[in-house]
Amino acid sequence: MKKKVVVGMSGGVDSSVAAYLLKEAGYEVIGIMMKLSDNPDYEETEGGCCSVAAANDARRVADALEIPFYVLNFKKPFKENVIDYFVDEYFQGRTPNPCVMCNRTVRFSELLRKARHLGADYIATGHYATITEENDRFVLRKSEDDKKDQTYMLYGLTQEHLAHTLMPCGTYSKPEIRAIAEKIGLDVFRKKDSQEICFIPDNDHGSYIEKYGGREVKPGNFVDRQGKVLGKHKGIIHYTIGQRKGLGIALGKPMFVTDIIPWRNEVVLGDEEHIFKTELIAKDINLIPFDKIQGELRVTAKVRYSTKAAPATVIQLDDNRIKVVFDEKQRAITKGQSVVCYIDDLVVGGGIIEEIL
């Protein structure tokens, strides 16, 4: 009997080819689009994973592959676990990563739950990463295409997730995936990658929070590191650590956001040297190859998706927290973002940055 797999299809080239590869490998494939966003401004846009256009693209691919396809409503868990979290973090002066939280709480957990109701053995996505079983544990490793590797966003996956997830694109490069789509006649082969937060059409998170956040956004003071008032800001939700552009204040030299103090509604500005740090503490950790870090572990680590992993030492403080000490200073370590640790291409795990030392 064929193994059954539910593929999360977004209408993009990666998930489309993932569905094709799995069908070719002999699986019984079902395509599901997760309807996540309830943003009316996004319904008719061309981009993003929740638009009408994306759903139509996914349905055309499913028809071409001759697999069943359904659009299912996941708006409630997405709002509760991702959007509400996203808004609250900005009001707390932090900069969240909604994709990390979505993968941890919705995209894999909820899709797996739905797949089980359909009698499926696995779920699958178009992510660029690989899952293998080693030493009686499932582990996550970087994809063959280092430029497209998405393991930073996936460090929160548990053993339960990994045991029931397939990522067939992880052993291909992006050009190879596009070539496969073109070869089998899928129009999405030329579709651009989405760069936005999926529930914010123009990537303007500040305007989104002002419109949909349900709270008053109060202007406050820009201050220097000594507390001297430098000018007025338009609300702390509009700023993040390391930001230089878009401050709306002229001080005669480049100034950078070095801290955000929500209880005083202040945004602290300083010189660029003040945004370079070496140590952090992260909470809500998830470790993949083992249950606990013993002693000091040498790793490479990255503090945001777009940066290169740098040499560091990680120490586990308790069941929920790790301390990461980089060999060299890192730019703009930011509360709310995630730190993810690696040994070569193996994902050790990570957590959400709560303190910069």
> Per-domain residue ranges for the chain?
4-190, 218-270, 276-356
> If one looks up domain 4-190 in CATH, what number appears?
3.40.50.620
Catalytic annotation, residues:
102, 198
pLDDT at 299: 98
The pLDDT score that the predictor gives to residue 42 is: 55
Q: Is 9 annotated in some ligand binding site?
A: yes
Identify the helix (H) or strand (E) that includes residue 19: helix 13-24
What is the C-alpha to C-alpha distance for residues 352 and 338, in angstroms, rounded to an integer? 4
- Per-residue pLDDT for the chain (357 aa), expressed as one digit of tens each? 789 999 999 999 999 999 999 999 999 999 999 998 766 655 555 555 567 888 899 999 999 999 999 999 999 999 999 999 999 999 999 999 999 999 999 999 999 999 999 999 999 999 999 999 998 999 999 998 888 999 999 999 999 999 999 999 999 999 999 999 999 999 888 877 776 678 887 788 998 999 888 899 999 999 999 999 999 999 999 999 999 998 989 888 999 999 999 999 999 999 999 999 999 999 999 999 999 999 999 999 999 998 999 999 999 999 999 999 999 999 999 999 999 999 999 999 999 999 999
Q: Residue 258 in contact with residue 270, Cβ under 8 Å?
A: yes
- What the block records as the tokens of 31 is 């395509």
Burial class (CB in 10 A: 0-12, 13-18, 19+), 295: exposed
Closest of 190, 216, 332 to residue 273, by C-alpha: 332
SS3 of 184-222: CCCHHHHCCCCCCCCCCCCCCHHHHHHHHCCCCCCCEEE
**Does the annotation place 213 within a ligand binding site?**
no
CATH number of 276-356, picked from 3.90.800.10, 2.40.30.10, 3.40.190.10, 3.30.530.20: 2.40.30.10
252 marked as binding residue: no
d(CA 247, CA 249) in angstroms, rounded, equals: 6
For residue 295, say whether it is annotated as part of any ligand binding site: no
User: What pLDDT is recorded for position 182?
Assistant: 95
The annotation status of 71 as a binding-site residue, yes or no, is no
Q: Is 33 one of the annotated binding-site residues?
A: no
DSSP helix/strand/coil, 17: helix
At residue 75, φ and ψ (nearest 5 deg) are -65, -40
Which CATH code for domain 218-270? 2.30.30.280
Task: Kindly calculate the radius of gyration of the chain based on its CA atoms and give it in whole angstroms.
Answer: 21
Residue 246 annotated as part of some ligand binding site: no
pLDDT for res 188: 87
d(CA 146, CA 345): 10
DSSP state of 94: -
**Is 207 annotated as belonging to a binding site?**
no
Helix, strand, coil abundance in the chain, percent, nearest 5:
30, 30, 40
Q: For the packed helices 13-24 and 52-65, what is the interaxial angle rounded to 10 degrees?
A: 20
Strands 310-318 and 296-302: antiparallel
Residue 22: burial class (beta carbons within 10 Å; 0-12, 13-18, 19+): buried
Residue 194 among known ligand-binding residues = no
Alpha helices, DSSP H, located in 97-158 = 98-102, 109-117
Q: Is 13 annotated as a binding residue?
A: yes
pTM above 0.85, yes or no: yes
Distance (Å) of CA 77 to CA 36, 198, 295, 326:
8, 15, 37, 36
User: CA–CA distance from 314 to each of 93, 231, 235, 321 (Å)?
Assistant: 25, 39, 35, 10
Nearest CA among 123, 119, 89 for reference residue 103: 123
pLDDT for the residue 41: 58
